[in-house]
Chains A and B, each alone.
Chain A
Amino acid sequence: MNYPVWDVPILGSGLVIALIAIFHVFISHFAVGGGFYLPMTESLALRKGRNDWLAELKKHSKFFLVLTGVFGAVTGVGIWFAIGNANPEATSTLIHFWVFAWGIEWVVFLVELSALAAYFYLWGRVSNPLHIRLGWLYAIAAWLSLFLINGILTFMLTPGQAWLNAAGTGNETFSFWAAFFNPTFWPSLIVRTLICLTQAGVFALVTASRIDGQRQPELKTEMTEWARRWLLPSFLLLPIALFWYLAEVPAAQRALLDLGNSTVGQGLFTLLSRLKLVFLISSAAVVAAVYLFTSKRNAVGFGLGSALGVAAMAYVSIGSMEMLREMLRKPYVVGQHMFSNGVRKSEVARMNRDGYLTNAAWVRPEERARWTSPDHGQNSAVPDLSRGELMFRGQCMACHTLDGYRGMRKLLLGRDHKGIANLIAVLHTYSDDSPYRPFMPPLVGTTAEVEALTDFLAAQVSGTNSVPNKP
């Protein structure tokens, strides 16, 4: 607890990140996919001499400019803001270690935005080949930015043994490239590139559906066919690429995917198995629906409603996969190194011995004095809820809230003080067969701290402070 804790009631700080991130994921991948779509469609239109396509494209590029330049950038900064608040320890690690990568990313981002602006404002003012080259410049810069961030994101799931060996020694920088091109880097890069193509395809499909098939049957058929070429291969390959990605994930993490095959028990982290099913079924449904809706017979009558239906399924597919990928990291935020609540794996033994709150920067001196006074715990009949609350804030609130998302009052409902103590003991012991070990970090702290957390949680569940005296 070297940083203040960000208390977001009901939602929880983790869900705030997820809400911003899922929005950002859609926009950023769309921005990259659109980067390829614009120059490729422009070339095709010029080759076919289709001025009607070009007019449409110019409108699209404005939409791209606004969407990526404003919403993409704002949500990107929003993620920084949210993760810095929600998980400062992990954010600090990411900034310190990856400072060089972030520097490159900043340059690439600048090129990306400038190229897109130039592409839009120079429509019809420069020669066609130059304009197309500007479009490609934008596409490549946007994809490079994905390339860089992909390295950092996959590092969080699988940092690789070289980095893990170096972590904490001060020599981490020597493992920079090993950490960047970590085991999941390449499969993830392919998954992400495919997502970009699907996003461009969805956009192309929705646009094509709005062309009046009675007035311009030929244009409509061609545009639908063009959209189909983006969507079908990408959604067919996506599940395959995801399986490759999962094959590179450590087996312990992969096991999370099967926790929910036989049960939907609450608090048992079963959602991942269900997300897996949703991802598979929606990817397949997109392929089949696109095939059926946009076949030559039906292309002319392909309407906006159907296109939006396909788009919704595509978003469900991508969204569930992103959620799955994020949750797969549990119980770590940086794989095998730092737990999701910011406690480093290497610190567990020390914190169990010396205490979690002992060196916390945000504990008032008088509080600490009270805890360490010799009579505490023996004579005091009133349990020390403030100490328990600090434990809760520091170690639980990264994922749990009291009443909302993964709310403790609901999860602990029906347990008495003894039952809660049992649960806390299981989390503290962290034995190999603990049912929580696959997805929850160990609870660290001295016996007194662990008891304080038990008292605090018991008081929250019963709604009163009347907990039994300690033995």
Chain B
Amino acid sequence: MLQTVYRWIDERLEISPIIDHALKKRVPDHKHSAWYYWGGICLFFFMVQVVTGILLMIYYRPGPDAYDSVRQITYEIRFGWLIRSVHAWSANLMIGAVFVHMFSVFFMKAYRNPREFGWWSGLALLALCMVFGFSGYLLPMDELAFFATRVGLAIPDALPGMSQLISALLRGGPEVSSATLQRFFALHVVVLPAIFVPLLGFHLWLVQKHGNALPPSEEAKPAAERRSIPFFPNFAMRDMAVWLMALNLLALLVALFPLQLDVAADALKPAPVGIHPEWYFMSQFEALKLLGHVIPGTLGEFVGLGVFGVGMGMWAAIPLFDSRVTTSLRARLTTWFGLLFLAALILLTIIGYIEVL
């Protein structure tokens, strides 16, 4: 019966080559294999985001009712608090997992020829995740959301010429308001997913095309000494177990630290003390602040964003710089650059938190 259905579908869609590919696929097995789980973890959290995001849209009302609808979700609708807290926590865990995934790819040198497009599409996905985070943060329209968004938009605002552009396109006025909320909502639930999903599809297709990359220590071994396990079912079973762990961690965080709702946003109120951006914007925020001390005024902002631009460009260009398989000066330099980048990220984030707490 099942086989008949399968054959009927296969005749029309020709899916058996895809299934054959999945059955033949193998995953390298070595002491760094645990890093192969991280892309899957990102994907898992993204799926949680899609499901809970759709569920939230069922009761969320953008516009003047936004705050009240989130209040109902959090305090009145059965398990509404659960859906909202899962969405928020899973967003944070997803961005965290993407960072881990990015650095593991970097240090395993998995961006080298032919995987350059994997690296670039991954970076674009990370950037989109952060815009997702920034736009989603405003949607409850409580005090915290309002001021965090105001502070966040103030950074590019300080640049000459930018203010007009941001006001006209992003904020819909000189001040964060319900017009901003409406735009962010459209961005968060329509524009970003419409870009994100195809890009994610491309990223996943590349992984199937090229397979898992081997770290240099494994590449150095003769092929006979390399071990691998079948993707299906061995690795898929382990992957499932890791997803369950991720779900469990999510459940624990949600249970112990569910999201509360602040008082409704009031533009006339002074900003509460200790307003700071989400942790994944903290290092950038802090870097700009520190540069502002050294070079005050708009020049500092310019230099700051310039340094960022150059840094990001270098980070994206890594596959072009370190593209050969053999160990060389370039490979070592790249590793050092990555360590420096990671250290700066962590250090700036810590300094940022010390300053606001």
A–B: direct contact at CB < 8 Å:
yes
Among A264, A274, A281, A297, point to the contact of B233 (Cβ < 8 A). A297
Q: Which of B69-88 contact A (CB under 8 A)?
A: 74-82, 85
Tell me the count of chain A residues lying within 8 A, CB to CB, of chain B.
31
Which one of A58-66, A104-112, A287-295, A362-370 contacts B?
A: A287-295
B76 CB to closest chain A CB, in angstroms? 6
- Does A128 sit at the interface, judged by CB under 8 A? no
B27 CB to closest chain A CB, in angstroms? 11
Contact A264 B251 (CB under 8 A): no
Which one of B154-162, B201-209, B239-247 contacts A?
A: B239-247
Contact A316 B252 (CB under 8 A): yes
Interface centre among A292, A295, A298 (most CB of B within 10 A): A292
- Does A129 sit at the interface, judged by CB under 8 A? no
Chain A residues, CB < 8 A from B247? 281, 285
Nearest B-chain residue to A319, judged by Cβ: B252
Which one of A146-154, A301-309, A384-392 contacts B?
A: A301-309
Among A263, A292, A316, point to the contact of B238 (Cβ < 8 A). A292
Given the interface contacts A274-B258, A306-B238, does A262 sit within 8 Å of B29 by beta carbon? no
Given the interface contacts A263-B81, A264-B75, A266-B260, does A293 sit within 8 Å of B241 by beta carbon? yes
Contact A288 B244 (CB under 8 A): yes
Chain B residues, CB < 8 A from A87? none
Chain A residues, CB < 8 A from B76? 262-263
Nearest A-chain residue to B31, judged by Cβ: A303
Nearest B-chain residue to A320, judged by Cβ: B255
Give complex CA distance A262, B73 in Å.
9
Contact B234 A297 (CB under 8 A): yes
Among A262, A285, A292, point to the contact of B75 (Cβ < 8 A). A262
- Does B254 sit at the interface, judged by CB under 8 A? yes
Given the interface contacts A274-B258, A277-B251, A305-B34, does A263 sit within 8 Å of B74 by beta carbon? yes
A391 CB to closest chain B CB, in angstroms? 29
| Interface pairs (28), CB distance under 8 Å | A260-B81, A262-B75, A262-B79, A263-B75, A263-B76, A264-B81, A266-B260, A271-B255, A274-B254, A278-B251, A278-B255, A281-B248, A281-B251, A285-B244, A285-B247, A292-B237, A292-B244, A293-B237, A297-B233, A297-B234, A297-B237, A301-B234, A306-B241, A313-B244, A313-B245, A313-B248, A316-B248, A316-B252
5 more CB-based (< 8 A) A-B contacts, given A266-B260, A297-B237, A313-B248 = A264-B74, A274-B254, A278-B251, A285-B244, A292-B244
* List of 8 A-B pairs having minimum Cβ-Cβ separation, nearest first: A274-B255, A292-B241, A289-B241, A264-B81, A264-B258, A292-B237, A285-B244, A278-B255
Residues of B at the A interface (CB closer than 8 Å) are: 29, 34, 74-82, 85, 229, 233-234, 237-238, 240-242, 244-245, 247-248, 251-252, 254-256, 258-260
